[in-house]
Structure 1
Amino acid sequence: MTQITPTVPKLYLLTNDDEFELLYQKLEVALATGLIALLQVRRKQVLALPDGKLKLYEEASKIVDLARAYNVEVVINDDIELAATLGVGVHLGQQDGNIEDAKRQLAPNQVIGRTCHGDVDLVKEARNDGATYAAMGAIFASTTKPNANVISRQQLMDGCRQNVGICVIGGLTAENVSALAGLPITYVAVVGDVIDLPVTQIANRCQQWTQAFSEWKTPAV
């Protein structure tokens, strides 16, 4: 096991299924705060439409252009081909493509994430396959995935020892993220705590996240 240098995590924002114009407004506000380090385009309801793949391409193109204006990296959820077309990274669920294919199709510097739930063996596999980060969770119950299994702190600690970036996801808020202080986490992924808010509240919420991270204490695991 490799000891990991202490770091303060970065905020990783996922899109929701808001109507696109509203979502775009929210993203503009959030990205302008300078807090967001990584943005995932995840539009399940759009993709389910008859012309979903085309619509997703059109939306994702606009989101990528916006993110680039703020120097924020983007990953596409579960779609290596679309990620390659747009020149961005990808996040892969366990059943949604493999890391070798992503590495072959994407540029060498692109982010590749893998869902690993609470399974340290999946974290090791993601590391060995060359993933940029392994996503672990749910950390808490969430409105986005209310039936997701909440993992234990021990599972998360074991994942943090595997010498790969760890992304935590599931029910995280600016108030409860302090429960993870002391763990060398790379990304804290959020949906509801930022993007589900009204446009007028997002900048303030991002400031609260900035404050939460400023108080982060991270000794090596």
Structure 2
Amino acid sequence: MTEQSTVTSERAAPMLYLLTNDDEFDLLYAKLEVALATGVIGLLQIRRKQVLAQTHGQKKLYDEALKIVALANLYEVPVVINDDIALAVKLGVGVHLGQQDGAISEAKQQLESNQIIGRTCHGDVALVEEARSAGATYAAMGAIFASSTKPNADTISRQQLIDGCQQTIHNDIELCVIGGLRVENVVQLKGLPIAYMAVVGDILDLPVDSIAQRCQEWQQVLTNW
């Protein structure tokens, strides 16, 4: 392959980045307890769009997030809130921002310096560069594969992903990949300088008693990265 078609890095193996789904809260909490107890999860995002759409959704989300953050703290797993800087400040956690969900500069002003700030960048290397320049912790690229969570999301090409990787190799920003990631397909990304593998359905769509095993399968894949 030419230098333009591949990129490798000596960075450590990616971390597993778990995003919550829209399960009923008690079920979600039970799943999170199992997943976090495995020690495999390196970052947790609270994303509860169906809860937000309910009457008094903001209050419900805050009450849920308090419990989830407390659980994550037990296992020393950092947390980010999806698309809500004010809630992240209130909870003392990080934030993940879509392109239309607030400025990175605003998040940096309001959050503690050690809090993670993520930015959705789709397949656009220019957006990765913008996120880097603004001081984001990571740029999220995807969808890598079709997923059950966002079945209509556009998948990005391998070259787009490689171009995004090139922006992170010698810069102060990490790369996150998202969209349809499964134990069985992430081997296709091996060798790329990816910091976070963002997963929803491959773990949280499973019944509670299957989650520990799936997390261990992820651990094996990432250990052999």
Q: What TM-score bracket applies, with the shorter chain setting the length?
A: over 0.9
2:163 equivalent to 1:158: yes
2:41 equivalent to 1:36: yes
Find the residue that maps to 1:37 and give its secondary structure: strand
Q: Which of 38, 45, 51 in structure 1 is aligned with 2:56?
A: 51
Q: CA deviation at 1:215?
A: 1.8
2:176 equivalent to 1:171: no
Structure 2 Cα separation of the partners of residues 210 and 175 of structure 1: 13
Which residue in the other structure is 2:216 paired with? Answer: 207
Which residue in the other structure is 2:4 paired with? Answer: none
Alignment deviations for residues 8-41 of structure 1 (CA, whole Å, 9 cap, x no partner): 1000000000000000000000000000000000
* Structure 2 unaligned residues grouped into runs of 5+: 1-7
Which residue in the other structure is 1:91 paired with? Answer: 96
Q: CA deviation at 1:161?
A: 1.1
Q: Which of 105, 118, 138 in structure 1 is aligned with 2:143?
A: 138
Corresponding residue pairs, total: 215
Structure 2 Cα separation of the partners of residues 95 and 114 of structure 1: 10
Structure 1 Cα separation of the partners of residues 175 and 9 of structure 2: 11
- Summarize the alignment of residues 51-200 of structure 1 with structure 2, pairs less than 5 Å apart: 51-163=56-168, 164-200=173-209
Residue type of the partner of 2:162? M
Structure 2 Cα separation of the partners of residues 136 and 198 of structure 1: 28
Structure 2 Cα separation of the partners of residues 91 and 28 of structure 1: 22
Residue type of the partner of 1:29? V
- Percentage identity across paired residues of the two chains: 70
TM-score, structure 1 length as denominator?
0.95
Q: CA deviation at 1:4?
A: 5.1
Residue type of the partner of 2:213? N
Structure 2 Cα separation of the partners of residues 149 and 161 of structure 1: 21
Residue type of the partner of 1:61? L
Structure 1 Cα separation of the partners of residues 187 and 224 of structure 2: 8
* Runs of 4+ that moved beyond 2 A: 3-7
Cα pair 1:14 1:189 within 8 Å, conserved: yes
Which residue in the other structure is 2:5 paired with? Answer: none
Q: Which of 4, 12, 15 in structure 2 is aligned with 1:10?
A: 15
